[in-house]
């Protein structure tokens, strides 16, 4: 009987982990879709932030402000549709890591004002809060990436 109870606990823990993993997965997908849409609806906050980076030329600012929301929405859609999950999650993790590094750069460089991360829908200023938020997104995407890779290997 003791083995049956232990087995039940293990199954319950695995089910809880799977539910949590699924929840986090779709939250990340929704965040990407939301950020992409808000940047398309109002690209000016992002453009203004990119203009503060002295080594970026005007053409590159426009290119980044155009492609970034499309990349975010594309990755969000790929996640929702579960297209090539390993590759998609790797790209999502790299994107969130880039946002994390940019938040550190912006804070150290003294960039002020809204970063344009969420268009004009949500205020997001450089500082420790932005760094922590982006760090959490990196950790969550790493968790989901490793979870999907490990689960895929177990199911083979």
**Ranges of each domain in the chain:** 18-154
Residues constituting the chain: 156
> Contact at 8 Å (CB) between 150 and 116?
no
pLDDT for the residue 150: 67
Percent of the chain that is helix, strand, coil (3-state, to 5):
80, 5, 15
Q: What angle do CA 85, 98, 116 make, to 5 degrees?
A: 105
pLDDT for the residue 147: 78
In this prediction the pTM is 0.87
CA distance 107 to 125: 9
Give per-10-residue mean pLDDT for the chain (156 aa): 69 85 96 96 92 90 96 98 94 97 94 78 86 97 85 61
pLDDT for the residue 116: 77
> Contact at 8 Å (CB) between 29 and 74?
no
pLDDT for the residue 153: 63
CA distance 35 to 41: 10
pLDDT for the residue 154: 61
Q: Write out the DSSP string of 1-41.
A: -HHHHHHHHHHHHHHHHHHHHHHHHHHHHHHHHHHHHHHHH
pLDDT for the residue 124: 83
């Amino acid at each position: 009987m003791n083995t049956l109870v232990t087995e039940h606990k293990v199954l319950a823990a695995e089910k809880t982990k799977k539910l949590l993993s699924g929840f986090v997965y779709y939250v990340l997908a929704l965040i990407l879709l939301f950020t992409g849409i808000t940047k398309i609806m109002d690209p000016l906050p992002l453009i203004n932030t990119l203009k503060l980076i002295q080594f970026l030329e005007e053409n590159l600012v426009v290119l980044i402000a155009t492609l970034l929301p499309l990349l975010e929405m594309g990755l969000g859609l790929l996640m929702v549709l579960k297209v090539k999950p390993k590759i998609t999650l790797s790209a999502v993790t790299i994107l969130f890591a880039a946002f994390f590094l940019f938040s550190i750069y912006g804070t150290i460089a003294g960039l002020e004002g809204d970063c344009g991360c969420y268009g004009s829908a949500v205020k997001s200023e450089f500082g420790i809060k932005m760094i922590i938020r982006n760090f959490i997104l990196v950790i969550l995407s790493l968790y989901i990436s490793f979870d999907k890779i490990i689960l895929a290997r177990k199911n083979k």
